[in-house]
Every structure is written in C-alpha cells, then in structure tokens.
Amino acid sequence: MAENGQEEGGSGEIAGWVVTFSDLMTLLLTFFVLLLSMSSLDRQNVSRIFSMLPGKSGILNRQAWYGSKELPDQEWNYDRLSELMTQISELQRRKESEIRPGDVKIISRSKGMVLIIANRILFEKGKAALSPKAKELLDTIGDFLDQCENKISIEGHSDNTPIKTAQFPSNWELAGARALSVFQYFTQVRGMPASRFRVASFGDTRPLVPNTTERNKASNRRIEIVILNNKQ
C-alpha cells in the first residue's frame, strides 16, 4: 500500500513539473515573438506600402527593392514614400498615353533610394529641354524631395546609339545636359537649394539592360534621381 501511495505521489509531481515547464515555454515564446516583431518593423512598413499600390501599375519594382543587398541606412518616412508612389500611380492613370507602365520606377541601392524616369516622358528625341508633360511629374517628385533633407544626385544616362550634333558632340554631353535641365527645374523653378544637389553624366556606360533591341535602348535612356544616404 505504501508503495502504491508513493507511485501516485510521484506521478502527481511529474504532472506539476510539466505544467510549470509549459508556462515557461509560453513566456519564452511570447518574448521571442515580441523581439522578432520589433526587429522586422521596417519590412512590415514596406510591405504595407506595397499593398496600397495596384498590382499592375508598373510604378514600383518590388523585386528590385528587396533584391538589393541592403535598404538605405536611415529611417525613411514610409508614409510620405507611399504617398509619392500613389500620386505617381494616379498620374500614370490620368496620362496613360504619356506615361506608360515602367516609365517611372523606384528601387533601392546601397547608396540610396533611386527614382528612374524614362527620357521619353521628360525630353523630345535628341533634345535636352524639358517637355511640357514632364513638369507635373517633376512637381510631384519635388514635393516629396522638399520633405527630406538628404543630398540628391541627378544622373543622366543614354543608350549606345551615337549622336554627333553641334550642340551635343556625344551621348555624354546629351545625358549631362538632360540631367542639368532637371537640376535647373528643381532649383530655379521650384527654388530648392542648389547645395543639396550634384549632377552627373554616365553616357552609355551604365545600361540597365543590353542595348540589343529598341525597347532595351529606350529603357537605358533615363534620368536617375538618387536620394542619397546620409553617409554619401
């Protein structure tokens, strides 16, 4: 009888230990879930931005954003960023004959956030003066740039089709003049401080895609507005 009583008492002690262990594991699990949620806050904000945009708008290249090795090393205002992308998306819908899907993209590189704008919606062929249809888009982007303090690099790119005119002896001059036109719009028309900007021409040396088709060449003719990380 005594042995049976000890066995019953022993099994009761084991049951109590399991309950205590279970409570401990639940607390630990809650703690680690909390840590994980805090560490992934930025990615959740980015995902929320993506969910606000039409899936086929062509404005935001989600794969390009996540495919970069690192996001910009600063705290972006994601609400303002999502507002910019929504405004560009609506502008595209209103002017779909002028702004096609893929004409404006936003990606992230290690040096900062990059707005890629196809030259066809900014300039006429072989010219560096801004076309009238470019100004509403640049105003939309300018409103966003006014809300951040980062330095900005405006970079001109071309395809590899040679150009040789009295005004533009090569694609380097043409791409540089186009980047300068965007800079002058932001500083002279919108009154943004020139000290925030730098202007560069890369000619045809940094193509996004091989210059093997007319479609690819159109993709390589572009202006990149880079909102630089603070360390740049």
> Per-residue pLDDT tens for 79-100?
677 788 888 888 888 887 778 8
Residue type at 108 in one-letter notation: S
Instruction: Tell whether pTM > 0.85.
Output: no
Please state, in angstroms and rounded to a whole number, the distance separating the CA atoms of residues 48 and 60: 13
Q: What are the tens digits of pLDDT across the range 101-135? A: 788 888 888 888 899 999 999 999 999 999 988 99
Give the torsion sign (CA, 210, 207, 177, 145). positive
Q: How far apart are CA 101 and CA 50, in angstroms?
A: 16
DSSP notation for 173-210 = HHHHHHHHHHHHIIIIIS---GGGEEEEE-TTSS-SS-
Q: Where are the beta strands (DSSP E) in the chain?
A: 104-109, 112-118, 152-157, 197-201, 222-228
